[in-house]
């Protein structure tokens, strides 16, 4: 051997030892790894997490007492980076000759090698097989099986036929394809040798980028804007982020400059952000116009090993949200009392109002609602007034961005001369129910508040009499809040009794207001409330029965809807019941 050959051989050995010193993840053969894929005997290493260098080292031994070959189930994630190399390491490896065979998921042969094609022929190290990067025609990423054997122990497509070898024996110092690409390994022949082995793999088990959990923060400005942040990480470095889909998201901000992605993912200057410095972590931020809108988006994150993951930006409400809170506020007006039904839902916002059992009632709502019976394809009949003709209807916000967490509606009598008025009002929130944990597969499922059902009526002493009686039936057990607004001229005394409870008598001055709570006298099911008014002919009082407290406000002159309804976002807590 010339000095040039000796120098080259020494350099190759040095390179091999330097590469061997790299940080690797080591797996030991568990017992005796099987030699066939389809029987499930091959040892599975697909779940092994690799270090940043992406190298898996497998150590095992071949038993010489019986003919043996060891097979491992692997996942090739980067076909262009795949390699398998067996080594001689003093103290670790005792076999003198190894072979490597690669099979696809179904056990069909892909490639094989007997002697390392990258080392000089005839050297001891060249007897250890290798499948260098790019030497195998790998169809694509997926599950494969890698087998190691010694000597001449070769795989067969027919276990009973020693002539059915899947791979050719020659040339030994080459990576060879199978004789028949459809041949499936079903057995082995020849005895081969025995001893311990060691080989390393690359291009396998590369983890995809990791998607964090969407975090939602509401801004403090009057627009109640919402920011959704999402962290993505990858130990191999992030190569690019592509926006695939955005719903109710104004834009997505991703580092590295450039214009933000717009709502449809196509209106900006780009839909993919390329990273020159391959960061291991990136935080993106999406802007949603209103905190009560269900905002979702999907982005594709690709790492430097060309593995990708689909990450979801999501700001939807869970399916266990509480229903809206409902309460009343009573405004005493000289003509007729006005009840403000106030709904609050700080979790999902108010999306609709349901009306039922309207009798001599007019309901005034903000000018942004559309009744559910609107004709499809027609301009939305935005309405602010609902009355007896709207029983069983629901009014929804025309534009979802106008959903609010506090909403005020006004309940008054259509005709104060008609003695009794009732209404049932229920508020709907903006809740969703999602399929499993998939935030992109959700359906509206609004929660309803409890009934807000005030009863308004007058007790008027008829001409020529001084007593008037009235009974209100079919009240719920929650309808125990009573407000008496005496008029001028008003009643001298008003007595009331709930069911079989005690008679409660109240002396009244003109324009006096009294609150009475009959909770202790109410029962489950239907309840009756009896009233007796005493006074001069023509004297009267208005009575309001409700299932919520009625905090009193000073008399007010209301000039329009904006005076009636509190402006959006000026939130006032409902009082405790």
From the options 3.30.830.10, 2.60.120.380, 3.40.50.720, 1.10.540.10, give the CATH code of 455-546.
2.60.120.380
Question: What CATH number does the domain located at 3-202 have?
Answer: 2.60.120.380
Query: Which among 387, 391, 442, 443 has a CA at the least distance from the CA of 418?
Result: 387
Question: By C-alpha distance, which of 371, 328, 377 is closest to 352?
Answer: 371
| CA atoms lying within 13 Å on the CB side of residue 57 | 18
Alpha-carbon distance of 295 to 215, in angstroms, equals: 12
**Tokens at residue 54, please?**
């992406």
CB atoms within 10 A of CB 386: 23
Question: How wide is the angle at C-alpha 431 spanned by C-alphas 425 and 435, nearest 5°?
Answer: 140
Burial environment of residue 377 by CB neighbours within 10 A (0 to 12, 13 to 18, 19 or more): exposed
Q: How many helices (H) and strands (E) does the chain have?
A: 2, 41
pLDDT of residue 100: 96
Which neighbouring-strand residues pair with 98?
Answer: 150
How many beta carbons lie within 10 A of that of residue 337, not counting itself?
23
Between CA 429 and CA 317 the distance in angstroms is 11
Tokens of 184: 């499936």
DSSP string for residues in 109-162: EEEEESS-TTS-TT-GGGGS-EE-TT-S---SSEEEEEEEEETT-EEESSTT-T
The DSSP element (H or E) to which 287 belongs, if any, is: strand 281-288
In angstroms, how far apart are the furthest CA atoms of the chain?
139
pLDDT tens digit at each of 577 positions of the chain: 443 444 344 444 433 444 445 568 899 998 888 888 876 689 999 888 887 678 899 999 987 667 788 999 999 988 988 999 998 888 888 888 899 999 999 999 999 999 999 998 888 888 999 999 999 999 999 999 999 998 788 999 998 999 999 999 899 899 999 999 999 999 998 877 788 999 999 999 888 899 988 887 766 555 567 788 889 999 888 998 988 888 878 888 887 655 566 654 444 446 788 888 888 999 888 888 767 667 888 889 998 888 889 998 887 655 556 677 777 777 766 567 778 777 777 667 788 888 877 888 888 887 777 877 766 666 667 778 888 888 778 888 776 655 667 778 888 888 888 777 887 788 887 776 766 556 566 677 777 776 677 888 889 999 999 999 999 888 888 889 998 988 889 999 999 999 999 999 999 999 888 889 999 999 998 999 999 999 999 999 989 888 877 766 544 433 333 343 433 333 344 554 4
- What's the CA dihedral at 509, 512, 517, 522 to 10 degrees? 70
Stated pTM of the model: 0.57
Instruction: Pick the closest to residue 201 from 150, 130, 139 (CA basis).
Output: 130
Q: In terms of Cα–Cα distance, which of 347, 361, 466, 357 is closest to 413?
A: 361
Task: Quote the CA–CA distance of 270 and 291 in Å, as a whole number.
Answer: 26
Say if residues 262 and 245 touch (Cβ distance below 8 Å).
no
Q: Class of 210-315 per CATH?
A: mainly beta
Asked if domains 210-315 and 455-546 share a fold, the reply is: no
Query: What pLDDT does residue 435 have?
Result: 66
Q: Rounded CA gap, 314 and 295, in Å?
A: 6
| Cis bond upstream, residue 489 (ω within 30) | yes
Q: Where are the domains of the chain?
A: 3-202, 210-315, 325-453, 455-546
Q: How many CB atoms within 10 Å of residue 407?
A: 25
Q: Could you count the other beta carbons within 10 Å of the beta carbon of residue 181?
A: 13
Please report how many Cα atoms fall inside a 13 Å half-sphere around the Cα of residue 262, on the Cβ side: 6
The two three-digit tokens of residue 260, written as one number? 């933000």
């Amino acid at each position: 051997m010339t000095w040039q050959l000796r120098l080259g051989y020494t350099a190759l050995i040095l390179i091999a030892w330097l590469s061997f010193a790299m940080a690797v993840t080591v797996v030991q053969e568990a017992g005796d790894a099987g030699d066939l894929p389809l029987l499930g005997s091959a040892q599975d290493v697909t779940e092994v997490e690799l270090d940043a260098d992406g190298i898996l080292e497998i150590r095992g031994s071949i038993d010489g007492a019986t003919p043996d070959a060891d097979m491992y189930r692997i996942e090739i994630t980067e076909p262009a980076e795949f390699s398998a190399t067996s080594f001689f390491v003093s103290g670790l490896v005792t076999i003198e000759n190894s072979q490597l065979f690669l099979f696809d998921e179904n056990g069909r042969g892909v490639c094989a090698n007997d002697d390392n094609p990258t080392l000089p022929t005839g050297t001891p190290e060249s007897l250890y097989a290798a499948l260098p990067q790019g030497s195998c025609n790998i169809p694509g990423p997926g599950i494969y099986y890698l087998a190691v054997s010694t000597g001449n122990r070769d795989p067969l497509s027919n276990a009973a036929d020693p002539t059915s070898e899947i791979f050719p024996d020659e040339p030994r110092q080459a990576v060879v394809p199978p004789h028949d690409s459809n041949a499936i390994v079903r057995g082995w022949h020849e005895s081969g040798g025995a001893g311990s082995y060691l080989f390393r793999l690359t291009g396998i088990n590369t983890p995809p980028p990791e998607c964090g959990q969407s975090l939602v923060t509401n801004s403090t400005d009057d627009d109640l804007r919402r920011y959704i942040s999402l962290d993505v990480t990858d130990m191999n470095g992030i190569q690019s982020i592509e926006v695939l889909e955005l719903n109710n998201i104004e834009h997505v901000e991703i580092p590295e400059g450039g214009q933000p992605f717009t709502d449809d993912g196509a209106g900006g200057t780009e839909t993919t952000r390329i990273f020159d410095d391959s960061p291991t972590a990136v935080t993106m931020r999406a802007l949603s116009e209103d905190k009560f809108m269900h905002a979702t988006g999907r982005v594709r994150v690709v790492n430097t090993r060309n593995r990708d993951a689909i990450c979801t930006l999501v700001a939807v409400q869970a399916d266990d949200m509480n229903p809206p809170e409902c309460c009343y506020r009573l405004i005493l007006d000289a003509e007729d009392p006005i009840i403000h039904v106030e709904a609050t839902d700080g979790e999902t916002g108010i999306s609709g109002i349901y009306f039922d059992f309207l009798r001599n009632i007019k309901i005034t709502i903000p000018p942004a609602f559309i009744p559910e019976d609107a004709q499809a394809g027609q301009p939305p009949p935005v309405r602010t007034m609902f009355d007896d003709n709207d029983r069983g209807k629901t009014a929804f916000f025309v534009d979802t961005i106008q959903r609010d967490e506090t909403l005020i509606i006004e309940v008054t009598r259509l005709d104060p001369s008609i003695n009794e008025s009732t209404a049932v009002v229920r508020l709907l929130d903006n809740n969703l129910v999602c399929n499993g944990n998939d935030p992109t597969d959700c359906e509206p499922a609004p929660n309803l508040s409890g009934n807000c059902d005030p009863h308004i009526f007058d007790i008027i002493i008829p001409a020529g009499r001084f007593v008037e009686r009235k009974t209100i039936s079919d009240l719920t057990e929650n309808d125990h809040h009573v407000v008496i607004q005496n008029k001028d001229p008003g009643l001298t005394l008003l007595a009331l009794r709930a069911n079989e409870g005690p008679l409660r008598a109240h002396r009244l001055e003109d324009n006096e207001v009294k609150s009475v709570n009959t909770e202790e006298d109410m029962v489950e099911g239907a309840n009756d409330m009896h009233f007796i008014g005493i006074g001069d002919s023509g004297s009267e009082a208005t009575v309001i029965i409700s299932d919520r407290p009625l905090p009193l406000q000073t008399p007010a002159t209301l000039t329009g809807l904006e005076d009636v309804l509190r402006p959006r976002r000026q939130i006032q807590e409902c009082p405790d019941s």
